[in-house]
């Protein structure tokens, strides 16, 4: 019988040999992939509706809705650092992932109940942040364990894993707004919870396929201490999350504190690193800041672009050879994962062709092209106002703009973790991974602030022509900002080439 004693981290049982049987690997991967698809179905269904729900369902001012969503986005990026540590040290990756799924279901059901009781909104969103924080890092960790020591197969596995994320998010972003339109907000959030319940039920039926991955904390029997310590930490985090979501001033103070902490930690790392390591840290630091800037633009999809679709976009989409589609405002967000699935194999093919010739593009050049694509995307959104009829922009401009921002996402957002893995030594990578997620969370909060530049003060609602003018101005400024970022990224290329060391091992 395994001991229930809490073991020091260096005495937790080491991992046995990896799963050698490819069929067993495939079964284990399918178990994790399916619950991941359903988790993303629930999260993105909720995300597609949240700003609109706060504005239309709860009567929030658009500024407050944008900042609340920005605060939640920051929490969703910050809490996984705690969730990953809890999985590694206390509960084990499998238990932490399932616990995160259960907490998420509770959050979605509480959201469903909040339509008649708005006081439940903030506790519900805090549960969502805690659930994602437990689920995301530990699910990815299980995929890594399945293909431990097989770099080629793990690359393929994570590619399929990422595609699964986009399948789940696409279906939910199309289906959940329709459910909300027909049966109401509570039913829509209930669908998010029900989808994840299906994923948890499937996991319960197939969990034995993950038995060989019972290593580390997963191999230790739970004791009261192993349960109570994570519960205490997560409860305190949830309380802080409720306060930060409810009070904008506290959320802002937390973001500033995290930013100061990131700068201080990076300064300490630079001081303690040797000369060669400093080059890698400096390179990674510059590139991570660029990824962080991208997330300011990315956050517009669930804030300003969704409100733009509500106020100023003709919902009728005309595609050649197809009947006219009428989209709900929240459904336009599904264009991003759809474009991701279309563009990903094309980029993979292009990278392979380039590698056969002069070699792959450098990360710095990819970032430059990514910002250029983002600049073009917001230019398209702004240009739509020039042909707007009665204050309504043709839906085709949203299709084109989302395609360009998805290209920017593939060139920028998807490479953040690769930057840390490539340039940061292994002994420092944990801290830099934390810094990357912290910068991303700060940027998501800033994205909410940026979205408010198109909003009238207080609870006033602008007319259709006034809001169109405001959004054209915001998108034009964002296009110029992205163009400036592309120029700066291009100017940094020679410096980055001189600074960058050989990729970290």
Model pLDDT, residue 20:
63
Rounded CA-CA distance 311/470 in Å is 11
- Domain co-membership, 202 together with 315: no
Q: Is the pLDDT of residue 132 over 90?
A: yes
CATH of residue 70: 1.20.1250.20
Mean pLDDT over the full length of the chain: 86
Q: Say which residue, 348 or 445, is predicted with more confidence.
A: 445
Model pLDDT, residue 502:
53
Q: CB-based burial of residue 271 (10 Å sphere; 0-12 exposed, 13-18 middle, 19+ buried)?
A: exposed
- Tokens representing 98 are 């399932």
CA distances from 77 to 134, 173, 196, 483 (A): 11, 21, 20, 26
Residue 2 lies in a domain: no
- Tokens representing 315 are 């919902």
- Tokens representing 326 are 């009428």
Question: In this predicted model, what pLDDT tens digit does every residue of 193-208 receive, in sequence order?
Answer: 999 999 999 999 998 8
Do 325 and 174 contact (CB within 8 A), yes or no? no
Give the torsion sign (CA, 162, 163, 169, 173). Answer: positive
The DSSP line for 191-239 is HHHHHHHHHHHHHHHHGGGGGGG--GGGGSPP-HHHHHHHHHHHHHHHH
Model pLDDT, residue 482:
98
Q: What is the DSSP letter of 500?
A: -
Rounded CA-CA distance 416/419 in Å is 5
Model pLDDT, residue 415:
74
Q: Rg of the chain's alpha carbons, rounded to an integer?
A: 23
Domain, as residue range, for 34: 9-246
pLDDT band for position 152 (50/70/90)?
Answer: low
The Cβ of residue 324 has, within 10 Å, a number of other Cβ atoms equal to: 10
Overall number of domains in the chain: 2
Question: In this predicted model, what pLDDT tens digit does every residue of 410-442 receive, in sequence order?
Answer: 898 877 767 776 777 766 766 677 788 888 899
Last residue of a domain, one of 226, 246, 266: 246
Q: What are 326's strand-pairing partners?
A: 316
Model pLDDT, residue 305:
97
Question: In this predicted model, what pLDDT tens digit does every residue of 346-401 receive, in sequence order?
Answer: 887 888 788 777 666 788 899 999 999 999 999 999 999 999 988 899 999 999 99
Q: What is the DSSP letter of 457?
A: S
Q: Is the pLDDT of residue 14 over 80?
A: no
- Domain co-membership, 121 together with 133: yes
- Domain co-membership, 182 together with 281: no
CA distances from 459 to 69, 349, 451, 456, 473 (A): 17, 49, 15, 8, 20
- Domain co-membership, 199 together with 272: no
Q: What share of the chain in percent tops pLDDT 90?
A: 53
Model pLDDT, residue 70:
94
Residue 92, by phi and psi: left (phi above 0), alpha (psi -120 to 50) or beta?
A: left
Question: In this predicted model, what pLDDT tens digit does every residue of 22-37 receive, in sequence order?
Answer: 788 889 889 999 999 9
- Domain co-membership, 255 together with 393: yes
pLDDT band for position 19 (50/70/90)?
Answer: low
Last residue of a domain, one of 246, 280, 303: 246
- Domain co-membership, 365 together with 399: yes
Which alpha helices (DSSP H) does 248-394 contain, by range?
A: 248-272, 275-298, 304-312, 335-356, 363-383
Do 451 and 66 contact (CB within 8 A), yes or no? yes
Residue 277 lies in a domain: yes
- Tokens representing 211 are 């038995």
The Cβ of residue 351 has, within 10 Å, a number of other Cβ atoms equal to: 13
Q: Say which residue, 328 or 457, is predicted with more confidence.
A: 328
Model pLDDT, residue 85:
87
- Domain co-membership, 104 together with 212: yes
- Domain co-membership, 265 together with 318: yes
Q: Is the pLDDT of residue 330 over 80?
A: yes
Question: In this predicted model, what pLDDT tens digit does every residue of 453-487 receive, in sequence order?
Answer: 987 654 455 688 899 999 999 999 999 999 999 99
- Domain co-membership, 217 together with 267: no
Q: What are phi and psi of 317, to 5 degrees?
A: -105, 120
- Tokens representing 76 are 């969703």
- Domain co-membership, 52 together with 86: yes
CA angle 144, 145, 151 (to 5 degrees): 55
The Cβ of residue 459 has, within 10 Å, a number of other Cβ atoms equal to: 11
Model pLDDT, residue 448:
94
- Domain co-membership, 422 together with 474: yes
Model pLDDT, residue 240:
94
pLDDT band for position 4 (50/70/90)?
Answer: very low
Shortest CA distance to 15 belongs to which of 93, 99, 131, 123? 93
């Amino acid at each position: 019988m395994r001991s229930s004693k809490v073991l020091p981290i260096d005495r937790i049982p080491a991992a046995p040999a990896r799963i050698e049987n490819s069929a067993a690997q495939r079964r284990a991967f399918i178990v994790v992939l399916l619950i991941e698809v359903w988790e993303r179905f629930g999260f993105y269904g909720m995300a597609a509706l949240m700003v609109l729900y706060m504005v239309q369902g709860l009567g929030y001012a658009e500024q407050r809705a944008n900042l609340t969503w920005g605060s939640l986005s920051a929490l969703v990026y910050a809490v996984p650092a705690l969730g990953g540590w809890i999985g590694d040290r206390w509960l084990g990756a499998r238990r932490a992932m399932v616990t995160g799924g259960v907490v998420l279901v509770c959050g979605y059901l509480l959201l469903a109940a909040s339509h008649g009781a708005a006081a439940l909104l903030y506790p519900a969103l805090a549960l969502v942040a805690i659930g994602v924080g437990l689920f995301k890092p530990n699910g990815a960790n299980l995929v890594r364990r399945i293909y431990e020591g097989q770099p080629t197969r793990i690359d393929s596995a994570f590619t399929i894993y990422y595609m699964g994320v986009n399948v789940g998010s696409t279906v939910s972003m199309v289906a959940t707004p329709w459910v909300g339109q027909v049966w109401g907000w509570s039913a829509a959030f209930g669908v998010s919870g029900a989808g994840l319940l299906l994923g948890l039920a499937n996991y319960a039926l197939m969990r034995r396929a993950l038995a060989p991955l019972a290593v580390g904390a997963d191999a230790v029997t739970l004791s009261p201490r192993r349960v109570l310590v994570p519960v205490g930490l997560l409860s305190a985090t949830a309380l802080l999350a409720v306060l930060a979501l409810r009070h904008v001033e506290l959320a802002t103070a937390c973001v500033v504190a995290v930013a100061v902490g990131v700068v201080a930690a990076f300064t300490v790392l630079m001081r303690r690193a040797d000369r060669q390591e400093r080059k890698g840290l400096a390179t990674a630091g510059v590139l991570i800041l660029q990824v962080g800037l991208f997330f300011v633009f990315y956050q517009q999809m669930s804030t300003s672009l969704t409100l733009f679709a509500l106020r100023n976009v003709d919902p009728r989409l005309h595609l050649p050879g197809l009947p006219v589609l009428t989209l709900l405002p929240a459904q336009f967000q599904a264009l991003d994962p759809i474009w991701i699935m279309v563009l990903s194999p094309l980029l993979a093919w292009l990278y392979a062709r380039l590698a056969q010739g002069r070699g792959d593009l450098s990360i710095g050049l990819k970032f430059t092209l990514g910002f250029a694509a983002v600049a073009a995307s917001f230019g398209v959104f702004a240009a739509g106002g020039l042909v707007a009829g009665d204050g309504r922009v043709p839906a085709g401009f949203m299709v084109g703009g989302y395609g360009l921002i998805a290209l920017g996402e593939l060139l920028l957002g998807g490479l953040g973790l690769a930057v840390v893995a490539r340039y940061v030594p292994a002994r420092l990578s944990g801290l830099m991974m934390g810094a990357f997620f912290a910068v991303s969370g700060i940027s998501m909060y800033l994205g909410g602030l940026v979205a408010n530049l198109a909003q009238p003060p207080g609870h006033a609602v602008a007319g259709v022509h006034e809001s169109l003018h405001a959004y054209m101005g915001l998108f034009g400024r964002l296009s110029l900002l992205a163009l400036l970022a592309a120029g700066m990224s291009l100017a940094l290329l020679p410096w980055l080439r001189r600074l960058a060391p050989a990729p970290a091992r």
